[in-house]
């Protein structure tokens, strides 16, 4: 387990190029998205996480902007945002060596969901 994951920062492994001081801010941005928009979490495969988001243009834009920035510092993530049939889904995939990062992301998304 990487040092950052062990410290509770979640998905910020040593491979992340985001400055350490900015990592808690990024985690807070994801937590806010999870709290405001996630209404379902599924793990169809060990390396893939599916987040069902509340459908709105604002949530789509917010998820796209945040995941684009995240991919800039943690390029091992693959984010796929799908808008179809009145639904909004964010899928996150990682290589097998980063499943613990996805585990941490799933745990945060699951606790961030609105009641």
Residue 44 within a domain: yes
- Whether residue 4 lies inside any domain: the answer is no
CATH of the domain at 86: 3.30.70
Q: For residue range 34-48, list pLDDT tens digits in order.
A: 999 999 999 999 999
Domain span at residue 97 reads 39-115
Structural domain includes residue 33: no
Q: Is position 57 within any domain?
A: yes
* 10 within a domain of the structure (yes/no): no
What is the pTM assigned to this prediction?
Answer: 0.81
- Does a structural domain hold residue 34? no
Per-residue pLDDT tens over the stretch 74-98: 889 999 999 999 999 999 999 999 9
Domain count across the chain: 1
Token digits of residue 11: 């998905």
Q: Which structure tokens are listed for 4?
A: 């950052």
Tokens 């990062």 locate to: 101
Task: Write the CA distances from 4 to 33, 43, 51, 73, 83, integer angstroms.
Answer: 21, 23, 23, 15, 33
* Residue 27 lies inside a defined structural domain of this protein: no
Q: What is the pLDDT of residue 27?
A: 83
Task: Look at residue 8 and tell me if it is in a domain.
Answer: no
- pLDDT for residue 47: 97
pLDDT one-digit tens code per residue, 2-57: 334 433 445 555 666 666 667 778 788 999 999 999 999 999 999 999 999 999 99
């Amino acid at each position: 387990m990487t040092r950052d994951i062990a410290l509770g920062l979640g998905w910020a492994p040593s491979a992340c190029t985001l400055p350490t001081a900015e990592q808690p801010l990024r985690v807070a941005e994801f937590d806010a998205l999870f709290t405001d928009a996630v209404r379902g979490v599924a793990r169809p495969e060990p390396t893939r996480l599916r987040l069902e988001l509340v459908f709105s243009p604002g949530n789509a834009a917010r998820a796209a902007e945040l995941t684009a920035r995240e991919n800039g510092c943690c390029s091992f993530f693959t984010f796929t945002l799908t808008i179809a049939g009145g639904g909004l889904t964010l899928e996150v995939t990682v290589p097998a060596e980063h499943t613990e990062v996805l585990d941490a992301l799933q745990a945060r998304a699951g606790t961030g969901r609105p009641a």
